[in-house]
Each structure stands twice: as C-alpha cells, then as structure tokens.
C-alpha cells in the first residue's frame, strides 16, 4: 500500500509541477492580418508575413475574432459597388463572406474593429468616429467622435476590457460616448518617417500588445510595414521586424491551453501504476486474512 500511495503522490506532484508548468508555459500567439485584399499570417518572432489567400473584399483595414464563437470578422469594401461591408473570413483559406452593409456612420473606411469579451463588436473609422457593429446585419450604432487627430487608427480591447485606440497618442475610449482620453504619447525608437499604428491586438494569454506600424515614404525611400509590441504604460514601441508590405489589420488568434501529450501520458501511466499497486496490495492482504 505504501508503494501505491507513493506512486499516487508522485503523480500528484507531477501534475502540480510538470503538468501545470507546461500549461502555463508562455507560447507565442498566432497572428493574422490583411494587406488590401490579401489575408496573411504573421510570425510573432520576426514579423515575416505569409500570404494565405485572397479575401475577395478591398481595403480590409480591421479584423478580430469573436471571443464567443471563434469566428473571424473583418471590415472592408465590396469590390462590386464599393459598399462598406462587415464580413467573416475563413482563416484556413482567407476567403471572405459578406455579413451585411455597414450603415449608420459617415461612410469613411473602417480603420479597425475589436470585440469586447462579451461579444460586442466596436469599430473606428477614418472620420474618427467610434461605433458598435451588429454582427448579424452589419448595421452600426454610432457612439460619438473620438476627438483629437487622426494620425493612426488602431483599436484593441485589453484582456481587462479597456478599449485602447492608437492615435499620435495611446488613448482609451469611453465605451458609451466614444470619447478618447490620452493615456500616454507613443514613441517608436529606431523607426523614422512618421510611423503610425494602423492595427493592433492584445495577446489574451500574456497581455502583450502587438501592432502593425506603417512608416511613410519620404521621396528617397519607400515606406515600410513593421510588427511591434507597444507598452501601454510607457507608450514605447519595440520593433520586432519588417512585415508583409502594406499590412493594415492585425489580430491574435484565440488559443486553448491543453497539456502536452507526453505530460498526459506520464500522468495517466503513473495513476494507473498507483491504482494497480493498490489493487495488488489489497488482494494480498485479503489472502493473508
């Protein structure tokens, strides 16, 4: 019986250490984005982008996964007629499917969208308006003017449901009125030619804020697209690397943390040995009696 207890104790110890350590291990997120009508995956370590497929809609400038359903939503323009459209995207192929026409705003391009944890979709546009979007019809409900300038247009909810907006500053947006309040100025060490964030999203696991940054051409050199992380306390952007040209939307794919197969097998094996040892011990005791 002592051996059985020892094995069960060892299994419990491994679950509390090895197993849980593997569950809590920091892994890099899966990033997706768009460049015009091209759907891309982004390497979070280097910024390198890989084209997945054609979305079928133009000027796709914002995307985010619905935390309630896991469906990837985006906003762009229908190539037939140019209507501003809410759409869904198949992450495996990049193909977009129209949900409905985005009505109720100025009609300016949607610059970014972001889901709150309860599944409500917020958006911002080139007229500096903040609004919510009906994920069934595409209709917008206007909240109000964000205020300030329009140098930058990235939008993202933090894991704690604070809505951030990247302008020349990092702002928070009042989710009832749409008004922006400056948190801190944004700085981009090492990046020149007027860098601006045009898409961003928080990693819900680590809390890291990833952003797509566009630098402008100056006549002697073209602009470039970069992947960065932004410190929401200091406003300092850390350059990861050059990314897919003209990247204009960025989202972090949802993930589910599960134990590694090797860990599960070890735990199951130890538990089985413990049970078997206990059974043999009880059987031997029964024979003696």
Written as six digits, the tokens of 102 are: 């985005």
- pLDDT of res. 19: 45
**Residue ranges of the alpha helices (H) in 18-164?**
20-24
Lowest-pLDDT range, 75-89, 147-161, 236-250?
147-161
Residue 55, CB-side half-sphere exposure with 13 Å CA sphere: 32
Q: Does the pLDDT at position 265 exceed 60?
A: no
**What is the band of 72 on the pLDDT scale with cuts at 50, 70, 90?**
very high
Q: Does the pLDDT at position 2 exceed 60?
A: no
Q: Does the pLDDT at position 117 exceed 90?
A: yes
Q: List phi, psi (to 5°) of 20.
A: -70, -30
Q: Does the pLDDT at position 173 exceed 60?
A: yes
- pLDDT of res. 123: 96
**Residue 8 near residue 288 (C-beta atoms within 8 A):** no
- pLDDT of res. 193: 82
Q: What is the pLDDT of residues 16-33, one digit of tens each?
A: 444 444 444 558 899 999
- pLDDT of res. 224: 85
Q: What is the pLDDT of residues 179-233, one digit of tens each?
A: 999 999 999 999 888 899 999 999 999 999 999 999 875 555 556 899 999 999 9
- Superfamily of chain region 29-252: TolB, C-terminal domain (2.120.10.30)
CA distance 217 to 233: 29
Q: Does the pLDDT at position 284 exceed 70?
A: no
> What pTM did the predictor assign?
0.80
CA distance 230 to 188: 9
Torsion on CA atoms 214, 146, 158, 197, rounded to nearest 10: 10
**What is the band of 153 on the pLDDT scale with cuts at 50, 70, 90?**
confident
CA distance 105 to 85: 12
- pLDDT of res. 218: 52
Question: What are the extents of the domains in the chain?
Answer: 2-19+261-288, 29-252
Provide mean pLDDT across the span 109-115. Answer: 96
Average pLDDT for the chain: 83
**What is the band of 80 on the pLDDT scale with cuts at 50, 70, 90?**
very high
Provide mean pLDDT across the span 256-260. Answer: 40
Strands (E), 243-286: 249-252
Strands (E), the chain: 31-35, 38-42, 49-54, 58-65, 72-77, 84-89, 96-101, 110-115, 121-125, 129-133, 140-145, 154-157, 163-166, 169-173, 180-185, 196-202, 209-214, 225-230, 237-242, 249-252
CA distance 9 to 2: 10
Q: Does the pLDDT at position 259 exceed 60?
A: no
Enumerate long-range contacts of 103-108, CB under 8 Å, 24 or more apart: 103/138, 103/139, 103/140, 104/131, 104/139, 104/140, 104/141, 104/142, 105/129, 105/131, 105/140, 105/142
Q: List phi, psi (to 5°) of 60.
A: -75, 105
**Residue 28 near residue 58 (C-beta atoms within 8 A):** no
Q: Which residues contact 188 (CB under 8 A, 6 or more apart)?
A: 195, 213, 228, 237, 239
Q: What is the pLDDT of residues 31-63, one digit of tens each?
A: 999 998 999 999 999 999 999 999 999 999 999
- pLDDT of res. 168: 85
């Amino acid at each position: 019986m002592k051996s059985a207890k020892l094995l069960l104790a060892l299994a419990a110890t491994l679950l509390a250490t090895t197993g849980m350590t593997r569950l809590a291990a920091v892994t890099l997120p899966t990033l997706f984005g768009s460049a015009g009508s091209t759907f891309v995956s982004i390497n979070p370590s280097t910024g390198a982008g890989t084209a997945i497929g054609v979305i079928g809609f133009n000027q796709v400038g914002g995307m985010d996964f619905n935390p309630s359903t896991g469906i990837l939503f985006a906003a762009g323009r229908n190539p037939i007629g140019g209507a501003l459209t809410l759409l869904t995207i198949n992450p495996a192929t990049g193909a977009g499917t129209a949900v409905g026409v985005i009505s109720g705003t100025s009609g300016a391009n949607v610059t970014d969208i972001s889901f709150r944890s309860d599944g409500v979709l917020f958006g911002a546009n080139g007229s500096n308006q903040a609004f919510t979007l009906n994920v069934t019809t595409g209709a917008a409900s206007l909240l109000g003017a964000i205020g300030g300038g329009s140098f930058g247009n990235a939008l993202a909810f933090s894991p704690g449901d604070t809505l951030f907006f990247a302008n020349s500053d990092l702002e928070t947006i009042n989710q009832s009125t749409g008004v922006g309040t400056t948190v801190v100025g944004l700085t981009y060490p090492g990046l020149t030619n007027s860098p601006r964030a045009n898409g961003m999203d928080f990693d819900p696991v680590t809390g890291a804020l990833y952003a797509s940054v566009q630098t402008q051409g100056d006549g002697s050199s073209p602009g470039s697209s970069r992947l960065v992380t932004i410190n929401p306390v200091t406003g300092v952007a850390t350059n990861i690397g050059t990314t897919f040209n003209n990247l204009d939307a960025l989202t972090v794919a949802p993930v589910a943390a599960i134990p590694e197969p090797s860990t599960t097998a070890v735990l199951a094996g130890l538990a089985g040995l413990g049970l078997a040892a206990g059974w043999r011990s009880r059987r031997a005791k029964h024979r003696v009696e």
